[in-house]
Amino acid sequence: MKRDVLWRIEETVMRVLMIGATALALGCLALILGAVVWKGLPAMSLAMVTQCPQGGYYTGAGGGILNAILGSLYLAVGATLVALVLGLPIALYLQLYAGRSRLIEFVRLALDVLWGIPSIVYGAFGFGLMLLIGLRASLLGGIIALSLVELPIMCRAIEEVLKMVPFELTESAYALGTTRWEVAWKVVVRQALPGITSAILLAFGRGIGDAASVLFTAGYTDHLPTSPLRPVASLPLAVFFQLATPFPSVQQRAYASALVLTAIVLIISVLARLASTRLSRFVVK
- Report the nearest approach of another protein to the CB of residue 50 (Å): 22
* Count of residues of this chain found to bind another protein when the rule CB under 8 A is applied: 76
Kindly give, in sequence order, each residue whose CB lies less than 8 Å from that of residue 77, ignoring residues fewer than 6 positions away: 204
Choosing from 129, 224, 274, 283, the residue that interacts with another protein (CB under 8 A) is 129
25 makes contact with another protein (CB under 8 A): yes
Euclidean distance between CA atoms 66 and 239, whole angstroms: 13
Contact 206, 150 (CB under 8 A): yes
- Report the nearest approach of another protein to the CB of residue 234 (Å): 10
Amino acid at residue number 236: P
Helix ranges, the chain (H): 2-43, 46-50, 66-92, 102-116, 119-132, 139-163, 167-175, 180-182, 189-191, 193-209, 214-217, 235-244, 248-278
1 makes contact with another protein (CB under 8 A): no
Contact 83, 151 (CB under 8 A): yes
Euclidean distance between CA atoms 118 and 104, whole angstroms: 24
- Report the nearest approach of another protein to the CB of residue 129 (Å): 6
Choosing from 10, 60, 85, 185, the residue that interacts with another protein (CB under 8 A) is 10
150 makes contact with another protein (CB under 8 A): no
Choosing from 41, 85, 103, 267, the residue that interacts with another protein (CB under 8 A) is 103
Q: Which is nearer to another protein, 244 or 284 (CB)?
A: 244
Euclidean distance between CA atoms 81 and 203, whole angstroms: 10
For residue 110, with 0-12 CB atoms within 10 Å meaning exposed, 13-18 middle and 19 or more buried, which class applies? exposed
Q: Which is nearer to another protein, 54 or 277 (CB)?
A: 277
Contact 82, 88 (CB under 8 A): no
83 makes contact with another protein (CB under 8 A): no
User: Which among 203, 200, 195 has a CA at the least distance from the CA of 282?
Assistant: 195
284 makes contact with another protein (CB under 8 A): no
- Report the nearest approach of another protein to the CB of residue 172 (Å): 29
- Build a one-symbol-per-residue string for 41-80: x at contacts with another protein by CB under 8 A, - elsewhere: ----------------------------------------
Q: Which residues, 171 to 210, sit near another protein by CB under 8 A?
A: 202, 205-206, 208-210
Q: Which residues, 216 to 275, sit near another protein by CB under 8 A?
A: 216, 236-237, 239-240, 243, 254-255, 258, 261-262, 265-266, 269, 273
- Report the nearest approach of another protein to the CB of residue 114 (Å): 6
